Structure 1
Amino acid sequence: MTLPLIYHPCYSALALPERHRYPIGKYHALQQQLLALGVPDSEFHQPEAVRQHELSLVHCPDYIRKLCSGELDTKAMRRIGFPWSKELIQRSLTSMAGTRLCAELALQHGMALHLSGGYHHAFYDQGSGFCLFNDLAFAAKSMQQQGVKRLLIFDLDVHQGDGTARMLADEADIITCSVHCDKNFPYFKQQSDWDLALPANISEQDYLAEVEQALNCLLNWYQPELVLYDAGVDCHQQDELGHLQLSTKALLQRDRLVLGSCRQRQIPVAAVIGGGYQRNLKALTQLHLQLFKAAFELEANSIARKIET
């Protein structure tokens, strides 16, 4: 079975100030590592940027216009965390298309992985926490337009998916779940359909047990036709912005659990790589690779054995 991977070179083609907190090079580094491991170039699908008006499906038209034209005020851009540039807008519009394409290909193939995405802090009319637009909400609503009735957004980034929760609060057929560290950004949390706010000192075993219980309950109760999975690695013990203490092995176990549970129930799953904040791109890339290792294992692909744990 083919495992579609979604990537665009513009994801890392963004000049940021020296020592900027965001590891913008990780997308290119991840794609290059996958190629070096033997993933054929033909497995990568390149999205075309969404048109601005398409984003009004989930975002305020006035916010879209001001952000894309560079008219958003300094305070609003500071809340986002990036200096404005045409390249920033282009990569954001392209990443939005990438998560939508990932969902479409997951429906066709059973599983697809996006080498970007997880911009869950963006709200209807404002951005926040390195997130301009909310790709998870956009992909979910787009799939509804294409006939998918029930979706689950299963967010395991260390930070609560506050924007996603707020934007989809009134969507009865899009279930939002956020499993995150309680004492972490954002300070003011929103209410997901299912929130698990975990203490920073939680053990790996307890973390995995909480994830498994939440996932099984949600899959059994709601029986979604598609799962959007945010596989953020900022819950790793070496992450500079996370406060959980998961090992690389635990990340792999987590991703195996999520992807395997969906596969067992024959529910398509579209995964995005989510957050991860280390200045050491080689180490950070290895953490994001655990999602791909878990996926390749399910596909019985020999590349899985080449990825270190």
Structure 2
Amino acid sequence: MLKVAWSTKYAHPLPEGHRFPMEKYDLLPEQLLYEGTLYEDNFFEPEPCQEEVITAIHESLYLEKLKGLSLSKSEIRRTGFPLSKELVEREIQIMNGSVMASLFALKDGIGMNIAGGTHHAFKDRGEGFCLLNDIAIAAKFLLTKNEIDKVLVVDLDVHQGNGTASIFENDPEVFTFSMHGKHNYPMHKEKSDLDVPLEDQTDDQTYLSLLESHLPKLITRVAPDFIIYQSGVDVLATDKLGRLGLTIQGCKERDKLVLTHAKTNKIPIMCCMGGGYSLKISDIIEAHANTFRLAQELFF
């Protein structure tokens, strides 16, 4: 059975007018339940992530400042969020959602988190709507606790996973692969193990051809025991922040390609959702829902 991390806290409200679409974290599970892709039994509510699991990646002082709401104004501004106790609690729960989804993936082949994909968080700071890095935390947990030797991060959000790249810059146990908008945030890119920068308005055919040319070779060369997939849908042409040109069908084909390669090669995969900022919330929900539909179709 496909297991998916979700909590009502995922849709923690932000001040009116804030551009981050928190409502998708409620609307997406509602859609998946309504259409019968998922049932109540598919969902689990994660407990808060244990502090020692977080500090295996993040500096203890940073976590203390985060929990104590004592970040400086500039540190808060860099995250893009108004800092609050509820927001920090939400982030800590999301971290464990990805950890637990990874454990389900080891058992079932795939596990998913309705949220996560917080790839802009560094060891000592948050950035770009990311306070803590669930991708890094889940990868380190697997490597430490579950006899995993190599993790491949496949980051297909439109923005480079700069925090993840920085965290694992000198770590041979984690290979970071990022396909992202060349001219998009962050303006200063970190160095992933493999970066594939994309020009503005990159279309379906170009995008999918590039992904197909890189991913199978990476799986052969890296020989991962586990894949963490950041499946942001801000690659859509309709996205306010994306600048790429993918259709919803192209985004679905992207997900199918990644999930099929994981399934065919018998590599467990954990999917976290990442960004999506289209003007129409229905475009965001449809593109994200396709990832879950494909997981059910291909794995169960």
TM-score interval w.r.t. the shorter chain? Answer: over 0.9
Aligned pairs for 1:229-240 (under 5 A) are: 229-240=229-240
Deviation at 1:266, TM superposition (A): 0.6
Corresponding residue to 1:23 among 9, 21, 27:
21
TM-score, normalised on structure 2?
A: 0.97
Matched AA of 2:164: T
Q: Distance in 1 between matches of 2:29 and 2:115?
A: 10
Please, which moves more after superposition, 53-62 or 173-182? 53-62
Is 2:64 aligned against 1:73?
Answer: no
Please, which moves more after superposition, 66-75 or 290-299? 290-299
- How many positions carry a matched residue from both structures? 298
Aligned pairs for 1:33-182 (under 5 A) are: 33-38=31-36, 39-146=38-145, 147-182=147-182
- Partners of 1:118 and 1:135 within 8 A in 2: yes
Task: Give the structure 2 partner of residue 303 of structure 1.
Answer: none
Q: For 2:257, what is the secondary structure of its paired residue?
A: helix
Q: Percent identity?
A: 37
Matched AA of 1:102: A
Is 2:289 aligned against 1:276?
Answer: no
- Partners of 1:23 and 1:279 within 8 A in 2: no
Matched AA of 1:247: T
- Partners of 1:11 and 1:91 within 8 A in 2: yes
Q: Distance in 1 between matches of 2:295 and 2:49?
A: 27
* Cα offsets for 1:44-78 (capped at 9, x unmatched): 12110113343110011111101111111111000
Deviation at 1:201, TM superposition (A): 3.0
Q: For 2:55, what is the secondary structure of its paired residue?
A: helix
* Cα offsets for 1:123-142 (capped at 9, x unmatched): 01010000000000100000
Task: Give the structure 2 partner of residue 261 of structure 1.
Answer: 261
Is 2:203 aligned against 1:203?
Answer: yes
Matched AA of 2:71: L
- Partners of 2:94 and 2:134 within 8 A in 1: yes
Q: Distance in 1 between matches of 2:42 and 2:62?
A: 35
Deviation at 1:19, TM superposition (A): 1.3
Matched AA of 2:289: L
Matched AA of 2:138: A
- Partners of 1:53 and 1:61 within 8 A in 2: no
TM-score, normalised on structure 1?
A: 0.94
- Partners of 1:158 and 1:179 within 8 A in 2: yes
Deviation at 1:278, TM superposition (A): 2.7
Task: Give the structure 1 partner of residue 295 of structure 2.
Answer: 295
Deviation at 1:157, TM superposition (A): 0.1
Q: Which consecutive unaligned segments of at least 5 residues does structure 2 have?
A: none
Aligned pairs for 1:175-194 (under 5 A) are: 175-194=175-194
